[in-house]
Structure 1
């Protein structure tokens, strides 16, 4: 199955196009974010996920007014490598979270049970800065297709209600993103 999803930023001027392909061996996704934040930038991200939607690898490249570069984050058992170098500070982090896309919220949302909060550590990638740091998040079910995101780490105190589709992809992320359809 293949799909193309578009999100619009609601806090600053920006748009993302994500192409998603699911198959028996797993999921691949590639997206492009164009944003006027931080002097303007373009960020490309490519994902490899297993069949359970656990991230195996993400490659990020950014070009903009203040930054130009790339990084690769890949799973190594319960650890993570950043550009091939072990990062012990990320050991045990369950998933990556890339700051400029709501796509990453899908990974924990697909693992949530309808009646239980899910708290996890992430390898948080600040997209425009190309940095990776450990952070903590909680997802709280609010009913069918609705989840509350609570940041317990780097942006502690930030909360947002998310509306998701049947695949767990964000339709609306309070304060930040909303799905849009291309004109026909």
Structure 2
């Protein structure tokens, strides 16, 4: 006899693989179900064992590095990162950002600042679309946003990928807080994510924002491996 967690599709498949028929062993029931054990199991991104993570990205062009660390602590997912890169003016910048997420990958706070300078930004969220600034004042223009998108990193693409559920070719439309690393300004923007390929070790999502569209490859934990023409992973699982 094998105990199966029926809330976890992968547990069911692991228990029944190699069997064509599974019997329902409830009292007084003489039922059976034929199951295709080779059928694809939808991933539940938020349940995947990924932490802690230690990853390095490089820009596809120009100079730069990002080192991001992801860990769990007190029912939160904590991200801290240092990004070194160049602006369109070729000026070098050094940015540190920290993100606090709940266990469902919902953003609760983000802090970003230039290293060696006083300039910085701190935003917090109730997780239901209400955002506040460092002084605790509500920011009406960000109402309804759950995720953030930092211009200097591919990591924030992971947030909606892991937070939402996806079916193949299904488009998820979201409103996000877009933060420019160039001047720390922010605004609300519409973005779309569509699952194109769902593999065992990696998946591909089509990302769209305005007129910009790109297909992003992520690993089995939803973290970017390749963002064509912008970023590629140099250190960590599936580095290229």
TM-score normalised per structure 2: 0.69
Asked if residue 70 in structure 1 is aligned to residue 120 in structure 2, the reply is yes
SS at match of 1:93: coil
Q: Which structure has more strand as a fraction of its residues?
A: 1
Q: How far apart are 1:142 and its partner, in Å?
A: 0.8
Deviations 1:85-104 (A, max 9, x none): 32101000121111111111
Map of 1:114 onto structure 2: 167
User: For 1:28, which of 74, 78, 89 is the aligned residue?
Assistant: 78
User: For 1:48, which of 100, 103, 113 is the aligned residue?
Assistant: 100
Deviations 1:1-55 (A, max 9, x none): 3121001011332210001103560200100000022411001001110001111
Q: Which has the higher contact order (CA 8 A, sep 6+)?
A: 1
Alignment gaps of 5+ in structure 2: 1-50
Map of 1:167 onto structure 2: 221
Give the CA RMSD over aligned residues.
Answer: 1.7
Deviations 1:99-153 (A, max 9, x none): 11111111111113133211100011001211010111000111121001000xx
**2 CA distance for matches of 1:119 and 1:44?**
29
User: For 2:204, which of 142, 146, 155 is the aligned residue?
Assistant: 146
Asked if residue 8 in structure 1 is aligned to residue 8 in structure 2, the reply is no
SS at match of 1:34: strand
**2 CA distance for matches of 1:114 and 1:69?**
41
**2 CA distance for matches of 1:143 and 1:168?**
13
Alignment gaps of 5+ in structure 1: none
- Answer with 1 or 2: which has the greater Rg: 2
Map of 1:104 onto structure 2: 156
**1 CA distance for matches of 2:188 and 2:226?**
25
SS at match of 1:107: helix
Map of 1:124 onto structure 2: 178
Map of 1:17 onto structure 2: 67
TM-score normalised per structure 1: 0.89
Asked if residue 91 in structure 1 is aligned to residue 182 in structure 2, the reply is no
